[in-house]
Structure 1
Amino acid sequence: MSEFFNLFILFITDAWFAWIPAVGFAMVFNVPRKMLIFCAAGGALTHSFRFLLLHFGIPIEWATFIASANMGFLGLYWSRKHLIPRPVFTVASVIPMIPGSYAFTAMIGLVEINTSGYSLELMQVVMENGLRTLFILTALSFGLAIPSILIYRGRPIV
């Protein structure tokens, strides 16, 4: 019971801190005030769902893809219900999942290579974090695009 309670507290904490950047990004791009609650809910749900997937051992790239695809489907529903373009909800909601720490570590590694010279360890750090950043960003974009492709496709897939 204690393990479940701890996971629940971590889940709620993750959701609480994830809505803040989602709403901040939405406010920067002048999302209508009535729609900010949906951006907050989307950011909290998406990031905390990814947190759960990570907790159960799914790699961060796949967890990000699954969470952003779920946000894509939820964004399609909200956009049809409220007659607002889908990116209003979806883009702001996945902003908390941008891999800033991996990109920062890769860039710091590049600066270190430039200042102190090449070493295998530094190159490994740069490649690992740079590729992880690339794959997470790709997962975000494909995850948001897949629901629209599947639902709005005008011709049969096969």
Structure 2
Amino acid sequence: MDLLFLLIDDMFWAAIPAVGFAMVFNVPKQMLVYCAVAGAIGHGFRTLTMQFGLPIEWASLAATTLIGFIGLYWSRKHLIPRPVFTVAAAIPMIPGSYAFATMLGLVEMNSGGFTYQLLQTVIENGLKTLFILIALSFGLAIPSVLIYRGRPIV
């Protein structure tokens, strides 16, 4: 029961920034619901996979790949470009807390002095941020590469 409540809560709060960024990108009003659903499904799937022990980097890759396939289906169904759905849905998974911790550690290192523990924290958070961002970009690209790989380039 706790896992179900966690997923519903997580999906609700992930849908809000997905719609917000979709509105910033001038997504048509009729498609905002799809952006919210895709953002909620993606973030909920990431949370679910993390609850089963998958690291956040791999969970982000799996969730954005799922978002990519959903967006690919909806883009064909509604004849709208795929990034309309997928980019806004992936925004809630941006690793802001890890990036903030990295920058905070760098500032602390600059003002308070160098320690190996602080350097270790900065490197861990920086690499985690980098790998999550790489997972997000590859996850959104994987469905298109798999589906459209037989088409000629020109």
TM over 0.5: yes
Normalising by the smaller structure, the TM-score range is over 0.9
Q: What is the CA–CA distance in structure 1 between the aligned matches of 2:16 and 2:33, rounded to whole Å?
A: 11
Q: Cα RMSD between the aligned structures?
A: 1.0
Aligned partner of 2:137 in structure 1 is 141
Q: What is the CA–CA distance in structure 1 between the aligned matches of 2:130 and 2:66, rounded to whole Å?
A: 20
Q: Does 1:13 align with 2:6?
A: no
- TM-score normalised to the size of structure 1? 0.94
* 1:104-124 deviation digits (Å, cap 9, x = unpaired): 000000000110111101101
Identity %: 67
Q: What is the CA–CA distance in structure 2 between the aligned matches of 1:155 and 1:20, rounded to whole Å?
A: 36
The one of 45, 64, 77 aligned to 1:81: 77
The one of 49, 55, 62 aligned to 2:45: 49
Q: Does 1:91 align with 2:87?
A: yes
- TM-score normalised to the size of structure 2? 0.97
Q: Does 1:38 align with 2:34?
A: yes
Q: What is the CA–CA distance in structure 2 between the aligned matches of 1:100 and 1:118, rounded to whole Å?
A: 24
Q: What is the CA–CA distance in structure 1 between the aligned matches of 2:100 and 2:77, rounded to whole Å?
A: 38
* 1:21-46 deviation digits (Å, cap 9, x = unpaired): 00000001100000000000000000
- Corresponding residue SS for 1:30: coil
Counterpart code for 1:79: S
Q: What are structure 2's unaligned runs of at least 5 residues? A: none
4+ runs deviating over 3 angstroms: none
Counterpart code for 1:6: D
Aligned length: 152
Q: What are structure 1's unaligned runs of at least 5 residues? A: none
Q: What is the CA–CA distance in structure 2 between the aligned matches of 1:151 and 1:8, rounded to whole Å?
A: 33
- Corresponding residue SS for 1:67: helix
Aligned partner of 2:60 in structure 1 is 64
Q: What is the CA–CA distance in structure 2 between the aligned matches of 1:6 and 1:25, rounded to whole Å?
A: 29
Aligned partner of 1:24 in structure 2 is 20
